[in-house]
Amino acid sequence: MKRIFCFLLLAVLLPASCSEALVIDTGFHPGRSFVVDGVLTDRLCHQTVRLSMTEDFHSPSRTVPWVSGARVSVTCGEQKYEYEEDADEPGTYRSVIEFRGETGRSYRLDVEATVDGKPAHFLAVDSVPETGCSLDAIDYIYSGDIDNLWVLAIWGKDYLHLRSRYLIQVGINGHFKPLEKSVEIPDDHFDGMSFSRFTMSALHHTEELWKAYGECFKPLERGDVITMRVSTLSEGYGEFLTKYSHLIFGTVPLLTDQPTNLPTNVTGTGPVVGYFGACTVVEASCTVDDPYRTEFPGQ
């Protein structure tokens, strides 16, 4: 009888307990953060900084909230480089004149923007590292094991005793893979080594990737130009990209860094994420003759 009574009591209480929503206020109400995505290289070019805001994960909008109308500049010693917003790319700021970062020198980014209707100022400093390697040549072969996969090999040298961290990006006809599809590695396992036909990266084509990312995932054709870009990263920038890649690809879910926990060298008015990073760049290219050859020339 007691057992039957308990079951009847639960049957009465359970529907009643579900009739009202339980709302718990944790006291944590995060707002939006300012996002800085800036890179300074040792190449003579119009250097680039991108500015945006974070968005609520559950927001119905899937467009990036770019920050327009900001004043952006980079300073090194007495030299100041002004940036202007690209008319065709809101939130993208390019240096008015071409300039290059010099190894060993520090560069300061200053941003003045309007955030949620209020003036805000952000700054970051990074130093250009020494180039960690040479890249003399690259070549490709088609992998017969997996359809639409090309393996890339390099010829070059990693400089001894320079503890370097590299970002490896591959492009087709000037269209490079985005950061989340590139490779970031330390030189721990090949410090001081020379490379000859050392497989380092790959090109992979699927219709889904081609549609999502464009020409950097097209199938190779005769006359295409493949370029590999190897950037030697500053120590802080390398750490940022390492943790960023863990965020994108995941490690152990409970131990994976969240966006607001990523390292940043940007400080200023209110919460901020992102990085203003300095790097040196080397590149090598090759032209596709037979896209389906399975051996390197002279092999």
Residue 244 domain flag: no
pLDDT band, residue 11 (cuts 50/70/90): very low
For residue 9, what pLDDT is reported? 37
Which pLDDT score, from 0 to 100, does residue 195 have?
Answer: 86
Domain of residue 54, residue span: 34-129+259-278
What pLDDT, on a 0 to 100 scale, did the predictor assign at position 27? Answer: 39
**Closest to 146 measured CA to CA, from 288, 287, 292:** 292
Q: What is the pLDDT of residues 93-129, one digit of tens each?
A: 999 999 999 999 999 999 999 998 899 999 999 999 9
Average pLDDT over residues 191-205: 85
Average the pLDDT over 227-235 and give the result: 94
Closest CA to 36 of 81, 76, 75, 66: 66
In the prediction, which pLDDT does 187 show? Answer: 80
Residue 299 located in a structural domain: no
77 and 146, same domain (yes or no): no
Name the more confident of 147 and 199: 199
**120 and 188: one domain?**
no
73 within 8 A of 83, measured Cβ to Cβ:
yes
The bridge status of strand 79-85 relative to strand 71-76 is antiparallel
pLDDT digits (tens, 9 = 90+) for 41-75: 999 999 999 999 987 766 666 678 999 999 999 99
As a whole number, mean pLDDT of residues 8-14 equals 39
Query: Which residues, at least 6 apart from 118, have a Cβ–Cβ distance to it below 8 Å?
Result: 269
* pLDDT digit string, tens, across residues 143-181: 866 667 899 999 999 987 777 889 999 999 999 998 888
Same domain, 120 and 184: no
Whether residues 137 and 108 fall in one domain: no
Residue 39: both structure tokens together: 């890179």
> How many domains in the chain?
2
Question: What's the whole-number mean pLDDT along residues 187-195?
Answer: 81
Least trusted range by pLDDT, from 111-125, 131-145, 185-199: 185-199
Residue 274 lies in a domain: yes
Which residue type sits at 77? G
- For residues 125 and 137, membership in a common domain is answered with no
- pLDDT range class, residue 236, cuts 50, 70, 90: very high
Are residues 158 and 115 part of one domain?
Answer: no
pLDDT given for residue 246 in this prediction: 72
Backbone phi and psi for residue 17, each to the nearest 5 degrees, phi listed first = -70, -20
Does one domain contain both 265 and 220? no
CATH code (residue 267): 2.60.40
Taking the C-alpha atoms of residue 154 and residue 157, their distance in angstroms, rounded to an integer, is: 9
Quote the Cα angle for 114-120-125, to 5°: 125
Q: Same domain for 53 and 114?
A: yes
What average pLDDT is seen over the chain?
A: 84
Domain for residue 17, yes or no? Answer: no
Looking at the structure, tell me whether residues 188 and 120 fall in a common domain: no
- Which whole number is the average pLDDT over 6-21? 42
If asked whether residues 75 and 223 sit together in one domain, one would say no
Cβ contact 87:237 at 8 Å:
no
137 with 125, same domain: the answer is no
What is the bridge-based pairing of β-strands 48-53 and 225-233?
unpaired
Please report the sign of the dihedral spanned by the C-alpha atoms of residue 154, residue 48, residue 268, residue 102. positive
Report pLDDT digits (tens) over 213-226. 899 999 999 999 99
Residue 241 falls inside a structural domain: no
Q: Which residues pair with 282 in a beta bridge?
A: 230
- Three-state SS annotation for the chain: CHHHHHHHHHHHHHHHHCCCCCCCCCCCCCCCCEEEEEEEECCCECCEEEEEECCCCCCCCCCCCECCCCEEEEEECCEEEEEEECCCCCCEEEECCCECCCCCCEEEEEEEEEECCEEEEEEEEEECCCCCEEEEEEEEEECCCCCCEEEEEEEEEECCCCCCEEEEEEEECCEECCHHHCEEEECCCCCCCEEEEEEEEEEECCHHHHHHHHHHHCCCCCCCEEEEEEEEECHHHHHHHHHHHHHHHCCCHHHCCCHHHCCCCEEECCCEEEEEEEEEEEEEEEECCCCCCCCCCCC
